[in-house]
Structure 1
């Protein structure tokens, strides 16, 4: 039960967020009115999509298919819905409710047991460790599987990616057992610089993939699943059963297309700046994992109490209207705290060296020294 002190602190945080003008992370603070005004200036086409057909939505889906090298793609309101739809298709085709997942995957950690509760699926854990699964992990799950999922990168493992050789070996292990491999690619756009291969080459190792439009691409919301024509056609039927076949998805489609145009060409830059920033932060006394970062995001550890660092972050935000980072949490090691940091256009505009300077001054409490 929140105390009055907790409620007062949350009110301070909300007021500070509302007044925020700049941020060191991501693409900067979102001002709702300004974002909607900017959206209205974009090309929305001559007609709106209607129940998933036509308009900018159809153009976007064609672009997704081209980028990912698949026969078809379907835009959906959320990633949770999108993955449920396509995994249900694979599960029915394989005649098995067993879905192989990582224990730290979004499917396990953040979705309130959606697949078991809504579809009767059984989540078989490949691993619970902070690493990508291996062919040996898959071999430890004998019998018929409905599908195997691979989250690229594994966000709750620290934004971890496999090497290209390890990824191809895992895909081959799935295909040797004739198990559909599905990529949970919420941050797939951000993964290609480290993997050293194109989106189409990465997705080509799998049987289907999901991508998101509101994370690295900065869209309002939305996701897409991509794969063979017949699989995506069946996924659309499950989308309708989930209530996701809205009258129009126009604002989300327009925003998603703008995100592809604005941020996809900069993903290599975001990764390069993340590597540069991680080095600067490490030199200043923070611990970074993975080091160097696999994507444009990484974990930061500091030998400070979470209450102290969060108090400084809030005071800085209130006095300067600048957000340094997300709030920190206590780490496994007593006296240490941890958070994650995502590099985006705002970070690049400021520059890695300056971001590191401002970050360490506040996080380590060295302002004015």
Structure 2
């Protein structure tokens, strides 16, 4: 008897809740996580409407890591990037912002830049790669800002080479337009680029980084850049409702991630390359090959429904979660998902991961 999609979703949810081992999920039971965060809090006072306490401490830490004069903590990266791009637009007198056609700003934010701030989007390219200087040159007229998403998540967590990044940044500088880095996963990008966070950030006027992805925080982001730019961004944070009475849990979790997860980025990247190579030997394909960060896309020569069913069956049998849901690929009969290598993954030998994924293909 065939399994309906609703039944499979219900089985997946139930099986996931009963798992006691995870391959890539940064997951800790809520009570345990909250107790750990309480112990990690180092400041005696709460932050108040974005000032003082652990909020101020994490802003200073990230500003130093990125080599920027100032930084502001915000509840979300969407708010952080809306704020800084609005400041650039107001300063320049232009509402035109150049972005990649597959960037998070366009694909996942309900057209916020146009709907909320009336910004005009100029697409550098929509190809599955980082944009080139000639594509920037092909956009005429005055631009308020140019953004780069490092890595570009939707096409496969893609990065430029260091030399390509330097050349693109120089093209922005020559044109006199600010370069803003959408660095939601900038922490994870340093091993492939071969340069420090500060060296990467020095190529741009402003940088946004996230805390709940590679660093495993609860939520939150930091926007870093020149002092006057950050001061203006704080005003937009207030206008957008981002000055919460306290953001203590987010700040404590962010600082914990900086201490515990950030030093692992090189090891996570190396493990991603090893796992990607092993999965290809099992019959999968990966994008990019090899990975540019600790995250990459995995393609299976089997349809999504069959892969999902195999994954749920295995999860129910072993109480191990090795993947999320599979999606239909562009090639009929193939499916794909994103695989993120986290500190949890380091507890799994590569051979065990390969065997587990091999079981999915064999069904």
When normalised by structure 2's length, the TM-score is 0.97
Number of residues paired by the alignment? 361
State whether structure 2 residue 346 is matched by structure 1 residue 329: no
**What residue number does 1:8 align with?**
7
**What residue number does 2:89 align with?**
91
CA 1:210–1:258 in 2, change beyond 3 Å: closer, same or farther?
same
State whether structure 2 residue 354 is matched by structure 1 residue 365: no
Distance 1:9 1:348 in 2: 29
Gaps of 5+ in 2: none
Pairing 1:1-369 to 2, within 5 Å after superposition: 5-27=4-26, 29-361=27-359, 363-365=360-362
2:269·2:294 contact (CA, 8 Å) conserved in 1? yes
Distance 1:43 1:186 in 2: 24
Cα RMSD (Å) of the superposition? 1.3
Tell me the secondary structure at the aligned position of residue 40 of structure 2.
coil
Tell me the secondary structure at the aligned position of residue 141 of structure 1.
coil
User: Which one is further off, 54-63 or 315-324?
Assistant: 315-324
Shift of 1:123: 1.0
Distance 2:351 2:142 in 1: 51
Q: Deviations over 1:160-218 (max 9, x none)?
A: 00000100000011111100100000000000000000000000000001000000000
1:103·1:126 contact (CA, 8 Å) conserved in 2? yes
Q: Deviations over 1:112-132 (max 9, x none)?
A: 000100000011111111000
Distance 2:16 2:239 in 1: 37
Shift of 1:358: 1.4
Shift of 1:143: 0.5
1:44·1:250 contact (CA, 8 Å) conserved in 2? no
Tell me the secondary structure at the aligned position of residue 73 of structure 1.
strand
Tell me the secondary structure at the aligned position of residue 184 of structure 1.
strand
Q: Deviations over 1:94-142 (max 9, x none)?
A: 1111110101100010000001000000111111110000001101111
Q: Deviations over 1:285-337 (max 9, x none)?
A: 11111111100011111100110010011111222221111111111111111
Distance 1:187 1:6 in 2: 32
2:71·2:224 contact (CA, 8 Å) conserved in 1? yes
Distance 1:310 1:41 in 2: 39
Distance 2:42 2:247 in 1: 11
Tell me the secondary structure at the aligned position of residue 112 of structure 1.
coil
Tell me the secondary structure at the aligned position of residue 327 of structure 1.
coil
Distance 1:98 1:328 in 2: 37
Shift of 1:243: 0.3
Shift of 1:5: 4.2
Distance 2:161 2:126 in 1: 19
1:98·1:122 contact (CA, 8 Å) conserved in 2? yes
Shift of 1:75: 0.6
When normalised by structure 1's length, the TM-score is 0.95
Shift of 1:45: 1.3
Tell me the secondary structure at the aligned position of residue 358 of structure 1.
helix
Shift of 1:26: 4.0
